[in-house]
Amino acid sequence: MIALVELEESLVAACQLWFAEFKAFTGRKDEEGKPLYGELNIYQGFLPLNTADESEEIPPNYYPHLVIRSKSGSFDDNVHSVEVVFELGAVDNAVDQSGYRDIRNMIQRLTTGLRTQTLVNGFPIDPKSVKWELIGDNELYPSWHGEVTATYKVKAPQSVLLTELAKAGPFNWVEEQLRQGA
């Protein structure tokens, strides 16, 4: 499923452009206790392992984050519709409640990018398919999580045998294979 990997890689690159100037609270503070802000960490497929030592409450390079992965798909003739999920995470343990605002700003920036750039590296999106939701609300304090989904079209994978089978008809193809000793 090369197309799925290519789609995810293309979306990572697009998100890097859409979030190039974006800064959000990292969940960390400097020596003076001031909140530290950083770039959005964008990952394909999954969050990296937690490498924080036990003294760190929040792992480095964990917040803010965006994880892009293919979630599900369906086939219609030669078109493969792929639902992609964008999982967003922000942290909000600062007194200014920046994580609460950060997650909403991330959702807004992402949905704007998805709905305005309807073709990413040759992969078309259905702009009407873009949906978002907040996950967990207050139960996950001090973190905030959101999810955006969108449906892309990719060329459906096909096997040579299936193509040959369709041309010959199922019984003719099987009979021919039996005659050839396959």
Share of the chain above pLDDT 70, in %: 72
- Interatomic CA distance for residues 114 and 67, integer angstroms: 15
pLDDT, residue 177, reads: 54
Helix, strand, coil shares of the chain, percent, nearest 5, are 35, 35, 30
CA distances from 112 to 35, 54, 67, 139, 156 (A): 27, 38, 17, 27, 27
pLDDT, residue 40, reads: 93
Q: What is the mean pLDDT of residues 138-157?
A: 81
Confidence of residue 136 (pLDDT cuts 50, 70, 90): confident
Q: What is the mean pLDDT of residues 41-63?
A: 73
Domains of the chain from N-terminus onward: 2-179 (3.30.2000)
* pTM to 2 decimal places: 0.78
| pLDDT single digits (tens) 66-125 | 999 999 888 877 778 899 999 999 887 766 677 778 999 999 999 999 999 888 888 899
Task: Report whether 4 contacts 78 (CB < 8 A).
Answer: no
Looking at per-residue pLDDT, the higher value among 84 and 174 belongs to: 84
